[in-house]
Amino acid sequence: MSVIQSIRGELERLRLIRHKYPSEQELTKEPRKAARVICIASGKGGTGKSIVATNMAYMKAREGMRVLLVDFDAGMANAHLLLGVAPKYDLGHVMQGEIPAKEALADGPCGMKLLSGGVGRHALVNPTRRQLDRLFRALNPLEDDFDLVIIDHGAGMGYATVAHLAATSTLLLVTNPEVTALSDGYALYKRANMVNPDIRVGLVLNRCASEVEASNAWERFRGASQRFLGHAPQYIGWVPADPGVSRSIARREPITLMDPSSPAAHAIEGVAQWAPIDYARTQRPFYSRARSALR
Ligand SMILES: Nc1ncnc2c1ncn2[C@@H]1O[C@H](COP(=O)(O)OP(=O)(O)OP(=O)(O)O)[C@@H](O)[C@H]1O
Ligand SMILES: [Mg+2]
């Protein structure tokens, strides 16, 4: 064997070893720990999404998680009002590239962070796909800094919401027992499954007068979903209509903070324990998936 051949053989052996065993640099490099991401949506407006989202964010932060709430009711945001926070920046500033997403966060109770959706900005209410793509790209680095990201959506099924539904592993559908809310909730559930067949969906019936009213409404939803789609969401539970919720809004404090023993706070606490929240991670970072869904 010539010298050149033996050097070649040695180089090949080293190459194989290098591929078989990770380098020191690879061993010390932490795998990317993307946050769990859950979306909260409903189809119809005013069903209680923001009440559930803000209380859940607060409760999970109280448990010790690093929580980010993104108010994606862009242009008509109100999570900051429910949390008693006055954000300096919002999604609009991030979308326009005026500030990095990490610097646009406001402090909420118990160390949770809020990325506000901004109020009355036209560009946020009707963003182009290109603007949304830029925004999603800017939001991507946030996932590394949090254990849980909760995204509170506005009513309807605009393409920003649909892109989120396509990207998320976990959706919390918040509806109420009225037939209009059930019908819009069903439409959103159907759409979510069309764009994301692997999505895990949990349903919350908010503002119910009684357990009987809640279970009748759930039966109607479940029956229609099973009949027409062949599957149904998971029933997480129901939240009673509680005058304490209005008082907590007036006080600008989540009801789980203001009055933890109230019926609504107690029920929302149960909703926050929904097990799939703990494994709501996706293989690829959430906002890369959302960007792909825009195309
Ligand atoms: N469990 C409850 N008991 C009593 N009132 C409630 C309850 N949940 C929500 N509400 C009332 O419903 C209103 C709407 O709630 P919320 O803002 O959470 O709805 P939303 O689904 O986020 O609305 P939007 O679609 O406009 O974002 C609240 O301002 C509050 O007055
Ligand atoms: Mg809302």
* Local confidence band at 22 (pLDDT 50, 70, 90 cut-offs): very low
Mutate to test the pocket of ligand 1, among 51, 76, 178, 213 (most ligand atoms within 8 A of CB): 51
Ligand 1 atom at shortest distance from the alpha carbon of 246: 31
Ligand 1 atom at shortest distance from the alpha carbon of 174: 21
Tokens of 12: 């090949």
User: 31-294 has which fold?
Assistant: Rossmann fold (3.40.50)
SS3 content of the chain, % helix, strand, coil (to 5): 55, 15, 30
**pLDDT at position 27, please?**
42
The distance in angstroms from the start CA to the end CA of the chain is 56
Calpha distance 58→252 (Å, rounded): 13
Tokens of 58: 């607060």
**pLDDT at position 20, please?**
42
Which amino acid is located at 167 in the chain?
A: A
Q: What is the pLDDT of residues 241-253, one digit of tens each?
A: 999 999 999 999 9
**pLDDT at position 247, please?**
98
Name the pTM for this structure. Answer: 0.89
Q: Please name which of 67, 66, 114 lies closest in space to residue 94, comparing C-alpha atoms.
A: 114
Length of the chain: 295
| Whether residue 154 has its Cβ less than 6 Å from ligand 1 | yes
Q: What is the pLDDT of residues 104-147, one digit of tens each?
A: 999 999 999 999 998 877 778 888 899 999 999 999 999 999 99
